[in-house]
Structure 1
Amino acid sequence: MSVFAAAIDNLFADPNIARDATYIASGGAPQLIRVVMRRADEVTGFRDARLWSETTRIDLRVAEVATPRPGDRVEIDAEAFNIQGEPVRDRERLVWTVDLRPA
């Protein structure tokens, strides 16, 4: 295991950073995973306008979810979300970042 993989495992194990969630692939069985929440606001520029929107993003470990797809479901603290858009992996190929929308 690389130093980076060990660090990611430690981050996802930390109860102050990560939380439990349920991942359900389209047509698949529920799977308990750990996620890191990112509920940051996003400002998007469009010509001269700046649009503000709330976003919900999470990080998933590639070791737990090998191929997340748009439409897959994530349940966190009794809230259900669907993955929207294409997930993006980090440089080390250890973590997926996915955008969510309420289900």
Structure 2
Amino acid sequence: MGLWVGSEVFNGWRVVAVVGELDFDTVPMLATRLEEDVTGGWAVLDLGGVTFMTSAGLALLLEWHRRLAEKGGALRIAAPQAQVLRLFALADVVHVLDVRGTTQEACG
């Protein structure tokens, strides 16, 4: 499976929706899209459609978390599936990343 990335503004937040597998091969596509679309300091990454994520995907999320925090903004993660949450727990980043249950919660 590949990766699909969509983007819109909702409630003042740039929401980037990701569907598919986020791994070494697909991370560059998401990285490019984030560079293009996240021009402000506030973004929500909707991972509800991500069925698989490797450490490459996690590294990208942590990089963008840092980058936006340095601008005085924030990156929120919305609706991750169980396998993505397990990766967050294994990497011990659950308390680093701002994870919300839904995109609406993340944009509130």
How does the TM-score come out when normalised to structure 1?
0.27
- The structure that has the greater radius of gyration is 1
Structure 1 or 2: more helix by fraction: 2
Structure 1 or 2: more strand by fraction: 1
